[in-house]
A and B are shown apart, each in its own frame.
Chain A
Amino acid sequence: MLLTRIELQDVRSYAATAVGLDAGVTVLVGPNAQGKTNLLEAVHRAATGGSHRVSGDQPLVRAGEELGVIRLELRTDEGRRRTLELEVGTSRRTRTRVDGQDVRRSSDALGVLRVVLFAPEDVAIVRGDPGERRRFLDDLLAQRRPAYAAARSEYDRVLKQRNNLLKQARHLGPSARDAAAATLDVWTEQLVTHATSVIAARIAAVHALAGHVDRSYRDLADRPERIRLTYRSSAGLDVVGDPDEGVPEREPIETAVRTALAEVAGDERHRAVTLVGPHRDDLDLDIGELPARSHSSHGEAWSLALALKLSTYEVLAEVGDRPIVLLDDVFAELDETRRGRLADACGRWDQVLVTAAVEDDVPLEGARLDVRIEGGISSVHTRPAAAGGAA
């Protein structure tokens, strides 16, 4: 798909800005802290849906204002024109409009705009806590099929209910505890059902990613090591990503989760918290035989994070529209060889938005937009397309 227009009103450092975009590469050029990243952030926010929390999107609104608006115009792969609008208030839930119509839940707008964003912070997928890797898989799955976002939030709801019941049971006398145990069984079964949906989808994503990440890493990093992805579930399941595998059978996962929950039942009563489920799973990333989280150099971690993100493009493109790629301040971190490899990849995508502080870092032809900030307000200036980069 293509993003044909971005309009921002009182979003971050923008007061009122409209930018028209074409297919291919667009480079946003400007020194740091001028508002380049804010532009990509706004697009990404619109693609992944407004925050569920009332205050979640508040930082997006320009300081001193009460309402920020992100309005995007798109063209699907089939040529259909669409609009996506987010109205972010400082004192109310984000309001989302698709093709001019209000949607009931922000998750209903998921999948309207599909993007892959890579930013320097994404190195945390490789080196950060398990939560970073869970979020990486969940974001990918939610964009691939909005039904996953619904399944994931249903799981969260069951988890919250079950944890609540475990906490209540801790304060009960013996007879009341027996009564609570009867309802705990019910919540445990609900947890097993919903955990299985989430785990199965994540394993399918790991299989779908595995081949792409391996190829993409060796290509980008120019290194011979193989990359191995392993979904490591708290239910005692370890599944190595394999491009020849697809969506796993539900039954073995259900059995594993149920068995693991039975084993930790005593522990759960003591600690009053659910100890098994997708909320405690991890995705192991190995470069060669070594775990990347603890044994990778900065350059390796960086290349692997980039390879993971670029592979999500392939997985998203399998169903529905091809996504738009957003690369935030990426080229500066790369050496000459890897810059060239990434530039080659950019040539394969329908639309890429790239930010750079130094224009010569980006060996790409394409449109240039200058981003400047004056008096705390950012603005975007179009340059004739002929002014190409260093390619």
Chain B
Amino acid sequence: MYEGAVQDLIDELGRLPGVGPKSAQRIAFHILSADPADTTRLSQAIQRVKDTVRFCVRCWNVSEQEECRVCRDPRREPSLVCVVEEARDVVAIERTREYRGRYHVLGGAISPIDGIGPDDLHVKELLTRLGAEPVAEVIIATNPNIEGEATASYLSRLIAPLGVRVTRLASGLPVGGDLDYADEVTLGRAFAGRRDV
């Protein structure tokens, strides 16, 4: 254990995803010995992201305005909605430049182990959108793992009776991997080969 401020910093860093106690300690001491200008920039970046970035009121993507850049873009096809787990999946798909529709970010996947059910995701908001927007096809691009598949299957059962076409990104994605690990070529191919579910 270290004295007050240092230990507080280690504790806070340790709460970040993917940062273990040893890494937290290493980062803390790096910050301690870093140039004050660098650490000021870091703390300002953190503060600014919390002050200015929020979630798009339409699709739950991250946004600096009420609606995100994709939703504001009049060239995007409003009849296509691609459902993803996280905002970082939007970035991965945007990089392929293959997709011209809009998104809907669920905020996770159904996982009883983690206590996450449909009510903890933006599922109701998706259904509301399907009633209010001229959506003809929903492309489900949840991760190709157990939880992503279960979520896809749950959504397709919910949406299909509404008369909206539901498709799932074809495989070609690494099994068990997160969507944002898929390289751009593979993802591009996945869009071309999506299948009805």
Contact = CB atoms under 8 A, between A and B. Distances in A.
A157 B150 CA distance: 12
B150 A190 contact: yes
Contacts of B119: 179
A55 interface: no
Given A161-B146, A190-B149, A183 B113 contact: no
Given A182-B154, A186-B154, A161 B149 contact: no
Contacts of A182: 118, 154, 157
B176 interface: yes
Contacts of B146: 154, 157-158, 161, 190
Interface string A175-201: 000011011011101100000000000
A337 interface: no
Contacts of A154: 146, 176
Interface size class of A (residues with CB under 8 A): 10 to 19
Contact of A186 (B115, B157, B175): B157
Interface in B105-120: 110-113, 115, 117-119
Contact of B150 (A150, A160, A161): A161
Contacts of A168: 112, 115
B125 interface: no
Contact of B117 (A162, A183, A190): A183
B176 A150 contact: yes
A189 B150 CA distance: 9
Contacts of A158: 146
Given A180-B117, A186-B150, A186-B157, A150 B175 contact: yes
Contacts of A187: 112, 150
Interface in A116-163: 150, 154, 157-158, 160-162
Given A150-B176, A165-B112, A183 B147 contact: no
A255 interface: no
B23 interface: no
A180 B116 CA distance: 11
A382 interface: no
B7 interface: no
B153 interface: yes
B112 A186 contact: no
A283 B71 CA distance: 57
A294 interface: no
B72 to A, nearest CB: 34
A183 B118 contact: yes
Contacts, number: 45
Interface in B100-146: 110-113, 115, 117-119, 146
B110 A186 contact: yes
A186 B146 CA distance: 11
Nearest to B117: A183
B154 A161 contact: no
Contacts of A190: 146, 149-150, 153
Interface string B150-163: 10011001000000
Nearest to A151: B175
Contacts of A180: 117
Contacts of A164: 112-113
Contact of A161 (B111, B118, B175): B111
Given A179-B119, A183-B117, A161 B112 contact: yes
Nearest to A184: B112
Nearest to B115: A168
Contacts of A161: 111-113, 146-147, 150
B119 to A, nearest CB: 7
Contacts of B115: 168
A221 B4 CA distance: 73
A186 B152 CA distance: 9
A17 to B, nearest CB: 31
A150 B144 CA distance: 13
A21 to B, nearest CB: 35
A238 to B, nearest CB: 29
Contacts of B175: 150
A164 B118 CA distance: 15
A160 B111 CA distance: 10
Nearest to B20: A92
Contacts of B147: 161
A154 B147 CA distance: 10
A168 B150 CA distance: 17
Given A150-B176, A162-B112, A165-B112, 19 more contacts: A150-B175, A154-B146, A158-B146, A160-B113, A161-B112, A161-B146, A161-B150, A168-B115, A180-B117, A182-B157, A183-B112, A183-B154, A185-B157, A186-B150, A187-B150, A189-B153, A190-B146, A190-B149, A190-B153
Interface of B: 110-113, 115, 117-119, 146-147, 149-150, 153-154, 157, 175-176
14 contacts: A150-B175, A161-B113, A161-B147, A161-B150, A164-B112, A164-B113, A179-B119, A183-B117, A183-B150, A185-B157, A186-B110, A186-B157, A187-B112, A190-B149
